[in-house]
Chain A
Amino acid sequence: MDFKPCVNIRKEWDIVGARQLGREQAKEVGFGTVDQARIATAISELARNIYLYAGKGKICFEVINEFDHKGLKISAIDQGPGIRDLNQVMQDGYSTSGGLGAGLPGVKRLMDHFEITTEVDEGTQIHTIKWLR
C-alpha cells in the first residue's frame, strides 16, 4: 500500500480535519469506539503541537495490514524548530500547555508504539501505531 493520505496542518481548524480522517481510517481498520476516541485524541495532540510550535506540518495515516497484525500508523511531520530538550518534553509532569495528561507523554499512552526523531532547526518526526486487538 503506497498511498498515504495526509492532512496539512496550518491553522487550528486543520486539527479537526486530521481527526476526522483519522477516525474514518480507524473505523475502517475496525477499532471500537474507545480506541477511536483515543486515536482521535492522539491526533489532536500531535496536530496541536505542529500548529503551536512548528507553525505548519502534516499528519499522515497508513493502514498496516500484516498477516497477523492490523493497525493504524499515524505520523506527524514538520520542519519546525525541533525540540531542544527531548527528555524534558517526554517527562510526565512537564507541560508547556499546563495540566495533567497533555502533550507527548499523553500520545505515548494513547498509542501502542511511539518513536520520535527531532533535529534542532530542522524539524520533528513522530511515528505512532495503534494495533487492533
Chain B
Amino acid sequence: METTKLDLSNYRELLKQYLVKNDETALYEAEQFSKLSVKQNISPEEIIHVHIEALKELYPDLPREINDSLNFLLEAMISYGLALQEFQSLRIKQSELESEISVAASMQQTLLSTEKPEISGLDIGGISVPANIMNGDYYHYVKTKDTLGIALADVIGKGVPAALSMSMIRYSMDSFPESHREPSMILENLNRVVERNVDPSMFITMFYGSYNPKEETFSYASAGHEPGFYYHAEKDEFEDIEAKGLVLGATSNATYQQYCTHVKKGDCIILLTDGVTECRVGDRFVEREEILEVIKKNIHLPAQEVVDRVYQHFARLQDFHLRDDFTMILLRKEV
C-alpha cells in the first residue's frame, strides 16, 4: 500500500472512493491518514477544513446548511487542536525530565557503588533494586584492617529526595576516622549529620554491622531498621536480629546500643530493608514468615543466589512492579 499523503487531492480521492463504493479499504486508509496527521502535528480543525474543501469540490452545489454546519464543527474542534499541541509539548518536556533523572540515577549508581569484598571463609551476596529509577535504599561494604563493615540504610520515601539523602549518608560515613568504626558510634555520628541536614519529615533507618573474621564475631547496632535474620546452621533455625534504636534524625543526641554475637561455621546473617518485608501483593502485605519460608527454601545455595532468588520470588509476586526499593544482603561464614 502506498504511503498516505496528507494533501487535499489524496483526501478527496479517499472520500470519493468511500462515497461511491462505501468500502472498508477507504476507511482503513482514512485511519492511516488520521495517524499520520497526529504524527505531523496536524490539528483536527485542519482535517475538517480539508474535508470541507474536498466535499465542495465533489459537490459544488453543497447546501448552505451543510457547509455552515461543517464550519460550525471546525470551530468546535479548535480547542482539541490546542490540547493536542500542548500535550505534545508536555510529552517532550516529560522525556527531557526522564533523561535528566536517568543521568542522575546513573550518577547515583557510580557514587554509591560498592565492591563486594573478597574475604576468605566468607560468602557474601547482595542485591538492591529500586522501585523507581532512583534508589532510596543503600548498602555499602566497608573493609578495614580487621573487620568488614556493612551499612544498610533505607529512607522513608522513594525517588529523588530519598536518593539524595543516601549520597549524604555515604559521604559522611567516608569521612569518619577509622577509630570510629564501631557500629554504635557510626550511627550516633550519622544521626547528628542527618538531624542537622535533612528535612524533619524525612526519616532514615539504618543498620550497621561489623564482622571480625579473626574473633569470629558480628557486632551491630540499628537505628529503627527492619530486623534481619540470623541463621544457626547447627540447629537449622532462624532468629530475628533484634536491636533497639531510634531512626536517624529524630533527635540530636540519640544513642545506640551495640550488640555482639559469636558466628559459627555455616551461620548466616541476613540483612534487608522493609521493601522486602513490606512488599505488597494485591491488598495484603507479605508476612515476615513468608519471607523466611523463601529464604529457608534457598539457604543451601551460594549467598548471591539466595538473595537473587528471594528477589525474583517477590518481584514475580508483585508482577515485577516493585512498590518499594528492595535490598537484601546475606553473609555466610563458610569455615
Contact = CB atoms under 8 A, between A and B. Distances in A.
B90 A92 contact: yes
A92 B74 contact: no
Interface stretch (B20-28, B80-88, B272-280): B80-88
Contact of A101 (B52, B75, B86): B86
B46 interface: yes
Contact of A109 (B49, B82, B93): B82
Interface string A88-126: 000011000001111001100110000000000000000
B69 interface: no
Interface string A16-52: 0000000000000000111001101100000000000
Interface in B57-89: 71, 74-75, 78-87, 89
Contacts of B79: 41, 101-102, 106
B137 interface: no
B45 interface: yes
Q: How large is the interface on B (under 10, 10 to 19, 20 to 34, 35 or more residues)?
A: 20 to 34
A102 B74 CA distance: 17
Given A34-B49, A40-B75, A101 B90 contact: no
A32 B81 CA distance: 17
Interface string B297-335: 000000000000000000000000000000000000000
Contact of B83 (A32, A37, A101, A110): A101
A16 B90 CA distance: 31
Contacts of B90: 92-93
| Interface of B, helix, strand, loop or mixed by DSSP | helix
A105 B82 CA distance: 9
A92 B80 CA distance: 15
Nearest to B94: A93
B71 A33 contact: yes
Task: Give the interface size class of chain A.
Answer: 10 to 19
B314 to A, nearest CB: 36
Nearest to A45: B82
A101 B45 contact: no
> Which has the most chain A C-beta neighbours within 10 Å: B52, B80, B85?
B85
A38 B46 CA distance: 11
Contacts of A40: 75
B188 to A, nearest CB: 44
B49 A100 contact: no
Given A38-B78, A41-B79, A92 B89 contact: yes
Contacts of A110: 78, 82
A92 B86 CA distance: 6
Contacts of A101: 79-86
Contacts of B75: 37, 40-41
Interface of A: 32-34, 37-38, 40-41, 92-93, 99-102, 105-106, 109-110
28 contacts: A33-B71, A34-B49, A37-B45, A37-B71, A37-B78, A38-B45, A38-B78, A41-B79, A92-B86, A92-B90, A93-B90, A93-B93, A99-B83, A100-B82, A100-B83, A100-B86, A101-B79, A101-B81, A101-B82, A101-B84, A101-B85, A102-B79, A102-B82, A105-B86, A106-B79, A109-B85, A110-B78, A110-B82
